[in-house]
Amino acid sequence: MSTKPLRKAVLPVAGLGTRVLPATKAIPKEMLPVFDRPAIQYVVDEALAAGIEHIVFVTGRNKAAIEDYFDRAYELEDTLRLKGKTGLVQELEGDLRPAGSMSFVRQQSPLGLGHAVWCARDLIGDEPFAVMLPDMLMMAKPSCLAQMKEAYDKVGGNIIAVEPTDTPEQYGIIDPESRDGRLLRMKGMVEKPKREQAPSNLFISGRYILQPEIFGLLAYQQAGAGGEIQLTDAMARLMRSQSFHALEYDGRTYDCGDKLGYLRATAAFALAHEELGAMAAETLRAALADEK
């Protein structure tokens, strides 16, 4: 079992965002603003807070805006300087990452999450890595991935972030074997079980730390649910030879994959904003009062 440190993260951003159309007809879903910044910025911030040194974006067609967002905007910066808005320039510069610390690879066909992760194999190499689903925004301090990394440093192997749910029939659910505080040793996973048949109430919430042996399994993984190559199918195979733990992290997951989830996330991150949270709360209360 590898004991190498966690340095890299894969962000699969090739999805079409069909559940939030028409907003995503011309804008990548990952670039939709969640209060004051694009959704993808929250995921990148979470990765950086966990000490991730290299982020691999797995993109598709019409996703160039993501790459542009994480690059310099010389014209914008010059215009802001001429107008004396140096604070905004400093904020933009603060979000820039060192040269070479982000990579972009293409998933030419929508063959599933497992295939998207496999597309990053050459950039990850023989190292453990994180997978961070950009639809899922985690509100947590320390960040969700930072909590997972702490657990990984203790037990190694593969780690999955989980959270309790009242609707297990909507998610992938873990089958735990034993529990030590927030850390659970896993013996399996069940995809969208009936509530009365669910082995637990803990759903897989979109953050993973995986060993590089997963790539060899994904290379020959047959299509599963929806006719796509599923990451969970390869994980189930890897579980036969490597340890898997689930971390019930301290925080809350917001699923931005549909319109109402996106609305909840926007409201939650607005209310949690350090400078504007109180004003956001008053604005929302006033809006609700107007509706009544």
Residue 260 DSSP code: H
Rounded Cα gap, residues 164 and 160, in angstroms? 13
| Length of the chain in terms of residues written | 292
Rounded Cα gap, residues 84 and 268, in angstroms? 32
- Going along the chain from its start, the domains and CATH numbers come out as 8-291 (3.90.550.10)
What is the pLDDT, as a whole number, of residue 224?
Answer: 67
Q: How many CA atoms lie within 13 A of 170 on its CB side?
A: 6
What is the pLDDT, as a whole number, of residue 292?
Answer: 65
What is the pLDDT, as a whole number, of residue 225?
Answer: 62
179 DSSP β-pair partners: 184
What is the pLDDT, as a whole number, of residue 150?
Answer: 94
pLDDT in tens, the chain (292 residues): 447 899 999 999 987 777 777 877 888 888 888 998 899 999 999 999 999 999 999 998 888 888 888 887 778 878 888 888 888 777 777 777 777 789 999 988 777 888 999 999 999 999 999 999 999 999 999 999 999 999 999 999 999 999 999 888 888 889 898 888 899 999 988 888 888 888 998 999 999 999 999 999 998 877 666 677 888 888 989 999 999 999 999 999 998 888 898 999 999 999 999 999 999 999 989 888 877 6
Q: Kindly calculate the radius of gyration of the chain based on its CA atoms and give it in whole angstroms.
A: 20
What is the pLDDT, as a whole number, of residue 1?
Answer: 47
Burial class (CB within 10 angstroms; exposed 0-12, middle 13-18, buried 19+) of 161: buried
- Longest distance between any two alpha carbons in the chain, whole Å: 63
Q: What are phi and psi of 182, to 5 degrees?
A: -90, -5
Q: Give the SS3 label for residue 180.
A: strand
Residue 57 neighbours by CB under 8 Å, 6+ apart: 11, 13, 66, 67, 102, 103, 104, 105
In this structure, is the dihedral angle defined by the CA atoms of residues 149, 155, 160 and 165, taken in order, positive or negative? negative
